[in-house]
């Protein structure tokens, strides 16, 4: 019996243990001596209870790089069974003061080590036992503490945590409205030393008009997702000058002037509970370290933007989601010239109640030389054409509510790095023919057409989409057939069709052959 088989037998067939050990040995050279080292470590384990399984988790943890270990431990700040958004993690890790160059690489390491469970490209979960292990580690290292009602650290405790995550279950606990974290009059030394505070699951019930945040002077990370803040609390946040990471929910129509004090802020996420956009006042431009801005509900720049210093820049900004522009005049170009390193942009043109222009005016986006992801959409009554160029750096593009002419599509096809293209509620060449005779999408791997108006598709698919892997067509009611040349694309793995012309199903099946690729039909 070789060493690999002995290791497998020693795991007693337990899935988690097998996965974890597989993650450890996958990083080692295929040398017997190195694998015997793993087997020797396992020899003292008898997997009859959870305690022994935790020893294997420790073994996996020990084989992580030093910069990855705290990244894993901080995952315990999420509730058990919680979907963890990969996009949030980098911000969280940076806010905790961790060195972070490439969050995606760290996530890949955690997945390959079987310490987290991936569900798709954007979400993963953490096994309960791994969660328990991380929580124990966090307490030993005094990283953070959970409060579930009555288990608040006492002032005499030798555990002074750097961070607190509050999970409130109304059926199990009662948090009074003078809860210690939000009440500066309740003397407790750990509160003033907090670096991180994350509140969720009904904590809004313990906030009152007597609550305060201004005494949490050292906070670097504040997550109050799901809690609609009063104007006074919103203003107090502006006093927390060490904040790097901030998630809030508000009904205010603009951010208070006190936010100009947040000179260290890198991540700002605002949920507008009224469902309308929030006005970005001039104080926004003083936040020079901002990297990630997400306005769920939309944000509109103050009309006085034109009076700002021409040299004013937010050079660290990488993500801006979601920006509303009225589409009235070319002065909006001034805005994008201030974001020289923007990589991810979601922008809506028009659709504002007070917008009265007869024709939409699009800003120039080709000035964003670092842009990799773009979502551009219009809520205008009629389809309008975007006549400017696109940044050659784009890798992912989503266009909604636009009219696309041959010239526009030609500019898109020439983008040298484009890998993903989503067209939704768009009209191609006035709903007639999409002729791609001279168009080649050199790197496009994913094409999604949703409610796109065009009736005929003239294309040599193998030439126009040489590396296409997935084709997704949804509710394109005018499209009568898919060109049979798509069956010649060697890289094509999947075609998805939803609610289209009835006979298109038989046509696609005949085109692709029985075992050529997967074809799914819905509706």
**CA distance linking residue 90 with residue 362, whole number of Å:** 32
What pLDDT does 378 receive? Answer: 84
DSSP run (H or E) holding 422: strand 420-424
Quick check: helix, strand or coil at residue 245?
strand
List the structure tokens of 118. Answer: 């991936």
What is the phi/psi pair of residue 162, to 5°? -75, -30
What pLDDT does 85 receive? Answer: 81
- Cα–Cα separations (whole angstroms), residue 235 to 42, 96, 181, 225, 297: 55, 23, 17, 17, 21
List the structure tokens of 316. Answer: 């660290």
**CA distance linking residue 106 with residue 90, whole number of Å:** 9
Q: Residue 323: which of 340, 306, 298, 305 has the closest Cα?
A: 298
- Tokens 């799901």: give the residue: 226
- Cα–Cα separations (whole angstroms), residue 201 to 86, 209, 225, 249, 390: 20, 20, 9, 14, 42
61 Cβ neighbours under 8 A, 6+ residues apart = 69, 72, 115, 133, 137
The torsion angle over the Cα atoms of residues 231, 233, 234 and 240, rounded to 10 degrees, is 150
DSSP 174: -
**Which parts of 216-316 fold into alpha helices (H)?**
231-237
**CA distance linking residue 255 with residue 282, whole number of Å:** 10
What pLDDT does 113 receive? Answer: 78
Q: Residue 322: which of 300, 302, 306 has the closest Cα?
A: 300
Average pLDDT over all residues of the chain = 75
Cβ atoms of residues 33 and 23 within 8 Å: no
Q: At what angle do helices 32-43 and 3-10 cross, to 10 degrees?
A: 20
Quick check: helix, strand or coil at residue 425?
coil
**CA distance linking residue 29 with residue 143, whole number of Å:** 34
What pLDDT does 44 receive? Answer: 44
What pLDDT does 12 receive? Answer: 39
Q: Could you state, in order of their start, the residue ranges of all structural domains in the chain?
A: 1-60, 64-126, 395-523
CATH class of 64-126: mainly alpha
50 Cβ neighbours under 8 A, 6+ residues apart = 129
391 Cβ neighbours under 8 A, 6+ residues apart = 365, 366, 368, 369, 370, 371, 374
Decide: residue 387, CB within 10 A, 0-12 exposed, 13-18 middle, 19+ buried.
exposed
Cβ atoms of residues 465 and 485 within 8 Å: no
**CA distance linking residue 352 with residue 380, whole number of Å:** 9
What pLDDT does 390 receive? Answer: 92
Decide: residue 101, CB within 10 A, 0-12 exposed, 13-18 middle, 19+ buried.
exposed
Q: Residues, the chain, total?
A: 523
DSSP 76: G
Cβ atoms of residues 505 and 521 within 8 Å: yes
What pLDDT does 17 receive? Answer: 46
What pLDDT does 480 receive? Answer: 80
pLDDT per 10-residue tile (average), the chain, 523 residues: 45 43 47 48 44 71 84 82 78 68 79 78 79 82 61 46 53 48 61 73 57 81 82 90 90 89 93 76 88 88 63 87 76 73 90 56 85 87 76 95 90 96 92 88 96 90 93 88 84 81 57 58 60
Decide: residue 209, CB within 10 A, 0-12 exposed, 13-18 middle, 19+ buried.
exposed
What pLDDT does 99 receive? Answer: 61
CATH class of 395-523: alpha beta
**How big is the chain by its Cα radius of gyration, in Å?**
27
The neighbour count for residue 41, using CB atoms within 10 Å, is 17
SS3 sequence of 294-317 = EEEEEEEECHHHHHCCCCCCCCCC
Q: Which residues of 109-139 are buried (b: 16+ CB within 10 A; e: fewer)?
A: bbeebbbbbeeeeeebbbbebbbbbbbebbe
What pLDDT does 124 receive? Answer: 83
- Tokens 């288990």: give the residue: 151
Cβ atoms of residues 310 and 338 within 8 Å: no
Cα end-to-end distance, the chain, whole Å? 53
């Amino acid at each position: 019996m070789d060493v690999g088989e002995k290791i497998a037998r020693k795991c007693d067939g337990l899935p988690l243990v097998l996965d974890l050990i597989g993650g450890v040995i996958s990083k080692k050279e295929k040398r017997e001596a190195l694998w015997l080292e793993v087997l020797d470590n396992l020899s003292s384990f008898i997997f009859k209870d959870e305690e022994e399984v935790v020893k294997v988790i420790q073994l996996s943890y020990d084989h992580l790089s030093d910069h990855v270990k705290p990244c894993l431990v901080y995952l315990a700040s999420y509730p058990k069974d919680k979907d963890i958004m990969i996009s949030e993690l980098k911000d969280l890790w940076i806010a905790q003061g961790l060195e972070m160059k490439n969050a995606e690489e760290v996530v890949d390491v955690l997945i390959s080590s079987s310490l987290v469970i991936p569900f798709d490209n954007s979400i993963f979960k953490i096994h309960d036992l791994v969660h328990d292990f991380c929580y124990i580690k966090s307490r030993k290292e005094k990283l953070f503490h959970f409060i579930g009602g009555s288990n608040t650290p006492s002032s005499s405790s030798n555990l002074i945590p750097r961070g607190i995550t509050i999970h409130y279950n109304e059926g199990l606990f009662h948090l009074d409205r003078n809860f210690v974290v939000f009440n500066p009059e309740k003397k407790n030394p750990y509160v003033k030393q907090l670096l991180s505070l994350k509140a969720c699951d009904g904590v809004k019930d313990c906030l009152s008009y007597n609550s305060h945040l201004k005494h949490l002077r050292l906070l670097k990370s504040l997550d109050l997702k799901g809690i609609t803040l009063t104007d006074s609390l919103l203003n107090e946040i502006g006093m927390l000058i060490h904040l790097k990471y901030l998630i809030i929910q508000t009904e205010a129509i603009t951010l208070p002037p006190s936010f100009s004090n947040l000179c260290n802020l890198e991540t700002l996420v605002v949920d507008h509970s009224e469902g309308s956009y929030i006005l970005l006042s001039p104080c926004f431009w003083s936040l020079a370290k901002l990297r990630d801005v997400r306005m769920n509900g939309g944000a509109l720049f103050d009309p006085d933007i034109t009076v700002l210093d021409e040299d004013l820049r937010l050079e660290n900004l990488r993500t801006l989601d979601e920006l509303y522009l009225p589409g009235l005049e070319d002065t909006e170009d001034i805005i994008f010239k201030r974001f020289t390193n923007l990589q991810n942009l979601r922008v809506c043109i028009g659709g504002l109640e007070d917008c009265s222009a007869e024709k939409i005016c699009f800003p120039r986006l080709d000035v964003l030389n670092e842009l990799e992801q773009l979502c551009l959409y219009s809520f205008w009554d009629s389809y309008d054409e975007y006549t400017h160029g696109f940044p050659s750096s784009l890798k992912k593009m989503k266009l909604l509510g636009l009219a696309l002419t041959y010239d526009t599509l030609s500019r898109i096809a020439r983008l040298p790095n484009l890998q993903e293209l989503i067209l939704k509620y768009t009209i191609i060449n006035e709903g007639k023919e999409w002729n791609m005779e001279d168009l080649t999408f050199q790197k496009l791997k994913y094409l999604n057409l949703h409610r796109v108006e065009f009736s005929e598709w003239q294309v040599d698919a193998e030439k126009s989409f040489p590396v296409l892997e997935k084709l997704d067509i949804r509710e394109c009611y005018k499209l009568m057939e898919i060109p049979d040349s798509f069956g010649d694309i060697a890289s094509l793995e999947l075609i998805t069709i939803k609610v289209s012309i009835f006979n298109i199903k038989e046509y696609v099946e005949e085109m692709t052959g029985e075992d050529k690729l997967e074809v799914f039909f819905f509706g």
